[in-house]
Amino acid sequence: MARFTTANSFHPVKCCPTCNRRLPATRKSPEERFWEKVDKRGPDECWQWNASLDSLGYGHLQFYGRVESAHRASYRINKGIIAKGLSVCHECDNPACVNPKHLFLGTHAVNMSDMAAKGRANNLPKPGSLHWNAKLKEPDVIAIRASTKTPKELAESYGVSTSLITMIRRRTIWRHI
């Protein structure tokens, strides 16, 4: 009796480097699909991601079975493993850039201080009355903390909730004052 084999058994099989999963030979590898979506320019220029972008301008793709940021995928393809807890940061401040020369690893704190040093911290929440949703001003918070009234009385007089008054008094919020 003749033995039957599948069509894919005659073709080389590519494997996922992270989980060793077999991929069909007829499909493109995740790396091939990645590079199809990149506008590669000069070695020192930004390489623009030309596929889906999120609201902050970062590229995303399906990479080995899960959605991953394009700049993280670029780092993994070109430089290797990203240790747990590390961020892939941009030297060029272009979120759609996937040029591996422009990417480096750092902790979240390093990434935030780099962003602040470059003057890009505009999207961070503003403290106190500068916050878009603030109902109180700094003098109101000082008066609330100094007052001997109950949280309910203060909440009614300022038009806020009693839990907000309690958080202000405990310094859970408005800590900068």
* Of the candidate ranges 26-30, 67-71, 138-142, 167-171, the one whose mean pLDDT is the lowest: 26-30
113-146 in b/e form (b: 16+ CB < 10 A) is ebbeeeeeeeeeeeeeeeeeeeebeeebbeebee
pLDDT for 124 equals 60
What range defines the domain where residue 105 resides?
A: 10-123
Burial class (CB in 10 A: 0-12, 13-18, 19+), 3: exposed
Condensed to tens digits (0 to 9), the pLDDT of residues 97-152 reads 999 999 999 999 998 888 888 777 666 666 787 777 788 999 999 999 999 999 99
Task: Tell me which of 96 and 121 has the higher pLDDT.
Answer: 96
| Residue 158 belongs to a domain | yes
pLDDT for 77 equals 92
Query: What is the total count of domains within the chain?
Result: 2
Regarding whether 107 and 25 lie in a shared domain, the answer is: yes
